[in-house]
Structure 1
Amino acid sequence: MKPYATWTSVLSALVRPFRAGLSSALWLGLMFALLVPTRLLAEKQLYTCGMHPQIVRDEPGNCPICSMKLQPMRMAQAEPRSLDAPEAPRKIKFYKSTMLPGEISKKPGKDSMGMEMVPVYEDAAQGANPLPADAITVDPQTIQEMNFKTSLVERGPAIRTLRTVGIVAYDERGLSVVTTRFDGWIDKLDVDATWTSVKAGQTFFEIYSPELYNAELNYLVALRAEPDASGPLTHAALQRLRLLDVSEAFIAEIARTGQARRDYPFPAPATGVVTLKNIVVGQMVRAGEPLFHVADLSRVWVNAQLYERDLMGVAQGQAVSVRMTYGMNTEHPGTIEQILPQVENDTRSAIARIVLTNPRGMLRPGMFAEVRIPVHLATSALLVPNSAVVRSGEENVAFVALPGGVFEPRKVVLGGEVDGGRDIVLSGLKAGERVVTSGEFMLDSESQLQEAIQKMLKPTPETAVPSVPAKP
């Protein structure tokens, strides 16, 4: 029964003798004047100290203990108890210090600062609605001051982009070695420096070889001796020139002119750049000796490093993106051609070989590149922002925002980081829940404090706190 209802009955009994002599209008006015102050008195604003909740005043002021300004109490807290309802005994859970939040005791007494410790009742700690034992309740003003922010736990595709470093290298299938099939002397060098660009068929050098000159003469003699160019002597002489790797253009020229040439102009076997030069003018060379190395740079390799933990998500034929460290708009699409079956002992990484086209020759061997490989982990996964997870090294905790300023710490199991600054959640959360993304470290400190208190207050037969009726 409400207090004002009791006072209504009392007033009705007192004024009943005078009711007969009053008009209806005067009677209603009298009752309104008497009841309104009573109702206002029942809902009168009270003030309390945030550090000493046992201090309650009916007007603003300062706390007599710590001199802090008294704060207004919510009306739900200030509503008086029914006068007819008996006061039920309340069980004391523990005693706490009003100045040192971490200092508690199972028995009444003074804290380390010499101030009386106040009781904490079980019903006050648990509230009207059942909450998780480790839940934290924060009032709206504190939530605003601490700038708490939340985010929704959602389901979506889990894509993680691997970022690694790569080095541009030659495509080994575009390497050529220039050598001769006969001994001779270098009379002239048309390509006289490394890194010179050459085209297929371009003259590399001119070489004099007695063996080659003798083969030219035999071919011319066979042409004059046999009227038919397909005769056995002519055919044998022609085959000898071809076995010495003489070009068809050179053979056709000496057949047309009828003159043997002393020096043979050696043509470039492929288009590319000279990466190695081993001869100078006047040098004698032997058959099979490497004279030049030529590399075709129209296609290059990028050797990207992959750590062991990332190998499972990468496959041959996968599309990648390669970005160079110079210039603008230098991103090149490529394909993983092969993942080498060896892990380097020094770096504990494997090599993913990526093939890139290089039509303008901008990719040079030895250059560094940034390689991005998109890895599709799952089509639908539970995702949570990285900032929502408090990582302690041994476990991961997220704080779920519940109605009424309540936050529940949850242990979560993560499945790895994905794009967009999010983590895959394997267990601990559900889709649609809200988690704290800003201010969660403050909640974590409070959660650890409450956990320590609960461990200290674990009941034992010797230290159990008896039920103590609350003082009126």
Structure 2
Amino acid sequence: MKTATKPPLLLLLTAVLTGALWLGADLSLRSFPWSGPEHVHAADQKYTCGMHPMIIVDEPGNCPICGMALVPLKVDTAGGSGAKPSAERKIKYWQAPMDPTYIRNEPGKSPMGMDLVPVYEDEATGGAMITIDPTTIQNMGVRTAPVTRGDLSRTIRTVGVISSEEPKQYVINAKIAGWVEKLYVAETGQQVKKGQKLLEIYSPELVTAQQELLLALENYRSLKDSSFPQISTSAKSLLEASRKRLQLWDVSRRQIERLEQSGTVSKTLTLYAPYDGIVTTKMVTEGMYVKPGMVLLNMADLSKVWVLADLYEYQLPWVKEGQRAKVVLPYVEGRSFEAHVSYLYPYVEGKTRTVKARLELDNADLELRPEMYVTVYLTGEKVKNALLVPQEAVLYSGEKETVFVALKGGRFEPRRVKTGLQGEDGHVEVTQGLFAGEQVVTSAQFMLDSESKLREAIQKMMQPTRAESPDDKAAADPESLFDDAAGGEAGKTTGKALDDLF
């Protein structure tokens, strides 16, 4: 029995020992970093399609979309290990961590109180830095311009409409019902002086009121010397009430005095002009029946007029109250007026999307007429020592404003900036993000921007894969694999199994 069972047991132990030795050798070959540096280098190489850059694979082959042969992906395009060591890198400027447009030439604090962080020459803050050979730059038509300091100014040319002064627009109406017996002002545009007769109204109520005034006057004259003070006082109060009633109907004090002196009731009431002005609207004719509150005449004093100039929203920063302006009559050669901005209206016209600026002008000779169009020139105050770039150098993409800074060696850095006012000479003010003397791209920025966005997207796709790859860790520190928790446990388990077998 015993001699018959020994050969199978020996064969079983031999098979287990052989398998364990093969497993240990395989684990050791996989764990040791010197088991093939060519393999590690090959794992770092990526391949992409020239027509479809979103295709990135680990091995050469053909594109699954167009069938073209894949080409090796450049290290700098994929955001690989092309950066210099920290000791050799040169700081370009210092930047706020929370605001990439806030940059300085030296370390310090950001407006939020945080320490500025360094930005090196091989880094880009607004996207991926790109490098283009000189021949391609010339074929693309890339042009650059320097960032300069200078004064920024703007002269706004706009259209204005003449209007009469609103406080000197008047309405003549009737406060009593009656018929217009006589119309002295019968033409629109007629100039009227204060105190001039306008029209005469016949009103039965007015005749009755005059008769009541004469009766009250006679009653007062007979009772003013009464021995009873209350009777004299009541008669006087009745007389004053009758006078007040006529005054409320726009009967002048002089007319009332004439009525009391003559004792004769007037059939009509004469309305006089309360102000100087010109009749702009006439709504009454002779013989017309009028009611209380009905508008009879509209008048306006045109000795001074307003000019209402239209300003678009982007022009508002250049206009302030009290600013000097020039008003030009387009139909009279060389005729202009000097004025000042007296008021900026606090709302925007819904239809025209403009804000009205009001200017006041003297118009003694009535040369300026309401609803007339004029040309208005507004010269804003200069912004001195501003950082200026050509307006075409700035790319506006919603909330971001980006420029491309041209560096040495055909490199271009996308950088976010903040802009201010726009001048009339084609320059725009840069408040944050650039330094004087730098070169910015003024043409072909859209091609540079698309290339930068593409490389930035590829970097974001590649970085998570490289961060999780164990080959990078092995290449940086070969001995780290022995300290790895998983690798250490695997080695301990294999060694224990061999000890038990032996």
1:102 counterpart = 2:22: no
Give matches, 1:65-464, under 5 Å.
Answer: 94-97=45-48, 99-100=50-51, 102=53, 105=56, 107-112=58-63, 113-118=67-72, 120=74, 131-133=121-123, 134-159=128-153, 167-177=161-171, 189=183, 191-194=185-188, 196-198=189-191, 200=193, 207=200, 244=252, 272-282=277-287, 291-304=296-309, 314-321=319-326, 333-339=338-344, 352-358=357-363, 361=366, 363-366=368-371, 373-376=378-381, 378-458=383-463, 459-462=466-469
Equivalent residue of 2:467, what SS?
coil
Per the TM alignment, residue 380 of structure 1 is displaced from its structure 2 partner at its CA by 2.6
Equivalent residue of 1:448, what SS?
helix
Per the TM alignment, residue 408 of structure 1 is displaced from its structure 2 partner at its CA by 1.6
Contact 1:203/1:265 (<8 A) preserved: no
Q: What one-letter code is carried by the residue in structure 2 that aligns with 1:244? A: S
Per the TM alignment, residue 264 of structure 1 is displaced from its structure 2 partner at its CA by 11
Q: What one-letter code is carried by the residue in structure 1 that aligns with 2:444? A: G
Contact 1:388/1:437 (<8 A) preserved: yes
CA displacement, residues 452-472 of structure 1 (integer Å, 9 cap, x when unaligned) = 2222221223275687xxxxx
Which of 277-286 and 105-114 deviates more? 277-286
Q: What one-letter code is carried by the residue in structure 1 that aligns with 2:61? A: K
Q: Counting strand residues as a fraction of each chain, which structure ranks higher?
A: 1
Q: Cα gap change, 1:321/1:182 in structure 2, threshold over 3 Å: closer, same or farther? A: same
Give matches, 1:16-95, under 5 Å.
Answer: 94-95=45-46
TM-score by length of 2: 0.52
Q: Cα gap change, 1:94/1:383 in structure 2, threshold over 3 Å: closer, same or farther? A: farther
- Structure 1 distance, partners of 2:270, 2:68, is 106
- Structure 2 distance, partners of 1:349, 1:441, is 32
Q: What one-letter code is carried by the residue in structure 1 that aligns with 2:286? A: V
Equivalent residue of 1:460, what SS?
helix
Match of 2:234 in 1: none
Equivalent residue of 1:192, what SS?
coil
CA displacement, residues 11-55 of structure 1 (integer Å, 9 cap, x when unaligned) = xxxxxxxxxxxxxxxxxxxxxxxxxxxxxxxxxxxxxxxxxxxxx
Q: What one-letter code is carried by the residue in structure 2 that aligns with 1:439? A: A
- Structure 2 distance, partners of 1:359, 1:101, is 76
Runs of 5+ in structure 1 lacking a partner?
A: 1-89, 215-242, 252-261, 468-472
Q: Cα gap change, 1:326/1:99 in structure 2, threshold over 3 Å: closer, same or farther? A: farther
Which of 122-131 and 399-408 deviates more? 122-131
Equivalent residue of 2:322, what SS?
coil
Contact 2:393/2:440 (<8 A) preserved: yes
Equivalent residue of 1:444, what SS?
helix
Equivalent residue of 1:276, what SS?
strand
Per the TM alignment, residue 99 of structure 1 is displaced from its structure 2 partner at its CA by 3.3
Equivalent residue of 2:186, what SS?
coil
- Structure 2 distance, partners of 1:289, 1:115, is 91
Per the TM alignment, residue 150 of structure 1 is displaced from its structure 2 partner at its CA by 1.5
Contact 1:182/1:209 (<8 A) preserved: no
Per the TM alignment, residue 372 of structure 1 is displaced from its structure 2 partner at its CA by 5.6
CA displacement, residues 320-347 of structure 1 (integer Å, 9 cap, x when unaligned) = 3556787876765432223456788999
Per the TM alignment, residue 435 of structure 1 is displaced from its structure 2 partner at its CA by 0.7
- Structure 1 distance, partners of 2:165, 2:312, is 23
Q: Cα gap change, 1:308/1:385 in structure 2, threshold over 3 Å: closer, same or farther? A: closer
Per the TM alignment, residue 315 of structure 1 is displaced from its structure 2 partner at its CA by 3.8
Q: Cα gap change, 1:202/1:244 in structure 2, threshold over 3 Å: closer, same or farther? A: closer
Contact 1:132/1:408 (<8 A) preserved: no
Q: Cα gap change, 1:278/1:96 in structure 2, threshold over 3 Å: closer, same or farther? A: same
Runs of 5+ in structure 2 lacking a partner?
A: 1-39, 91-120, 211-250, 259-266, 476-502
- Structure 2 distance, partners of 1:198, 1:246, is 24
Q: What one-letter code is carried by the residue in structure 2 that aligns with 1:120? A: K
- Structure 2 distance, partners of 1:202, 1:313, is 46
Match of 1:60 in 2: none
Q: Cα gap change, 1:464/1:296 in structure 2, threshold over 3 Å: closer, same or farther? A: farther
Per the TM alignment, residue 420 of structure 1 is displaced from its structure 2 partner at its CA by 2.8
Q: What one-letter code is carried by the residue in structure 2 that aligns with 1:168? A: I
Contact 1:91/1:121 (<8 A) preserved: no
Q: Cα gap change, 1:178/1:137 in structure 2, threshold over 3 Å: closer, same or farther? A: same
- Structure 2 distance, partners of 1:263, 1:192, is 18
Q: What one-letter code is carried by the residue in structure 1 that aligns with 2:69? A: M
Match of 1:86 in 2: none
Q: Cα gap change, 1:181/1:298 in structure 2, threshold over 3 Å: closer, same or farther? A: same
Equivalent residue of 2:74, what SS?
strand
Equivalent residue of 2:450, what SS?
helix
Per the TM alignment, residue 200 of structure 1 is displaced from its structure 2 partner at its CA by 3.6
- Structure 2 distance, partners of 1:450, 1:182, is 85
Q: Counting helix residues as a fraction of each chain, which structure ranks higher?
A: 2
Q: Cα gap change, 1:91/1:379 in structure 2, threshold over 3 Å: closer, same or farther? A: farther
- Structure 2 distance, partners of 1:453, 1:345, is 46
CA displacement, residues 258-283 of structure 1 (integer Å, 9 cap, x when unaligned) = xxxx9999886766431122432345
Per the TM alignment, residue 294 of structure 1 is displaced from its structure 2 partner at its CA by 2.3
- Structure 2 distance, partners of 1:111, 1:334, is 75
Q: Cα gap change, 1:463/1:198 in structure 2, threshold over 3 Å: closer, same or farther? A: farther
- Structure 2 distance, partners of 1:389, 1:208, is 72
- Structure 1 distance, partners of 2:137, 2:313, is 44
- Structure 2 distance, partners of 1:182, 1:455, is 85
Of all paired residues, the percent bearing the same amino acid is: 34
Contact 2:181/2:202 (<8 A) preserved: no
CA displacement, residues 142-196 of structure 1 (integer Å, 9 cap, x when unaligned) = 22222222222122234456677755332134334557999997665454232x2
Q: Cα gap change, 1:268/1:411 in structure 2, threshold over 3 Å: closer, same or farther? A: same
Contact 1:156/1:380 (<8 A) preserved: yes
Which of 99-108 and 322-331 deviates more? 322-331
TM-score by length of 1: 0.54
Which of 363-372 and 138-147 deviates more? 363-372
- Structure 2 distance, partners of 1:91, 1:103, is 22
Q: What one-letter code is carried by the residue in structure 1 that aligns with 2:164? A: Y
